[in-house]
Structure 1
């Protein structure tokens, strides 16, 4: 649990979440490219205790000691642990939101209640895909062995059963462009962007 204070928002915080392999990183990369040049939409980079170049999202790779130092110095607006890794989102997002800018964060379903406590007006966006699609994506990225993939799939099923109220849903099982355009439409405030 974080001891951070609630943040008053001027902009919108889009909190993307979904099971491993649902395609959050790909959707965010797609939307970032499509919205390039719009200076009022920011895509937050997470600090992760995972090596750089390990595939997946563009993140700030930090050691466990560096992560702990950042945490102690209050540099994270949000932080959580999952799958043996630590994740942190920089406090610059609060500055962007206060300035009326929109922010997109790759979040955690388990952390959603705390994220909502800190950012009461956040827009929860659940990215979904079938277990078969997720399993194939996890295998193809090659970061983990078969046992680790099985653990991620099991964790996804466990969290899927939790109540995720007040969230928008983007199904990401077909071509990336389909779900990607729904995310872009949502970020631009277009009606009917989500399922």
Structure 2
């Protein structure tokens, strides 16, 4: 059996990564594409992505027990990708994970064959989305916008622009994944 491909999705806050991944989750199963849930020390009702909410203590226990393939910290929260991803890949599933630009090098070490996917959007779209979700102050939004171009685009990245309709960005990503087979 041929191993699956890991697609490491990243991009600054507000580009719509969660929305694009939700679209792919709803439409990609027929194409053999799975979207992994992240384990986050953020309450389940906090809005945004469909994640597995863990307390700080449970996250640390799982981390010490070796249950994560990858972890990182950002914005005062802990994030993890479960070891189940490696199992899915070994059984031929293509998997998308919502990664972090800051953890990209570690992800490449753990999954050397991963394909980077960068979701982008205009600064105006990002600012509007960040303001609409209501989790950041105006100063926080400005700081996030200032970091948009702080990370270089990794070599070999699929770049998906999410300024139009969600279906357009999602189908562009799904078509790119299907074309790599």
Q: TM-score, with normalisation over the residues of structure 1?
A: 0.86
Asked if 1:166 corresponds to 2:149, the answer is no
Give the whole-Å Cα distance in 1 for the aligned partners of 2:141 and 2:76. 13
Asked if 1:16 corresponds to 2:9, the answer is yes
Displacement of 1:167: 0.9
Aligned pairs for 1:1-195 (under 5 A) are 10-37=3-30, 40-159=32-151, 162=152, 164-189=154-179
Contact 1:43 1:104 in 2 (8 A): yes
Match of 1:4 in 2: none
Structure with the higher fraction of residues in helix conformation: 2
Gaps of 5+ in 1: 1-8
| Worse-superposed segment, 144-153 or 77-86 | 144-153
Contact 1:83 1:152 in 2 (8 A): no
Q: TM-score, with normalisation over the residues of structure 2?
A: 0.92
Give the whole-Å Cα distance in 1 for the aligned partners of 2:47 and 2:100. 18
Contact 1:15 1:106 in 2 (8 A): yes
Is the partner of 2:173 in helix, strand or coil? helix
Displacement of 1:156: 2.6
Task: Flag as ranges the 4+ runs of structure 1 deviating above 4 A.
Answer: none
Root-mean-square deviation (CA), in Å? 1.7
| Worse-superposed segment, 165-174 or 149-158 | 149-158
Contact 2:28 2:174 in 1 (8 A): yes
Contact 2:28 2:34 in 1 (8 A): no
Is the partner of 1:112 in helix, strand or coil? helix
Contact 1:55 1:143 in 2 (8 A): no
Displacement of 1:90: 0.4
Give the whole-Å Cα distance in 1 for the aligned partners of 2:86 and 2:66. 13
Equivalent residues, number = 180
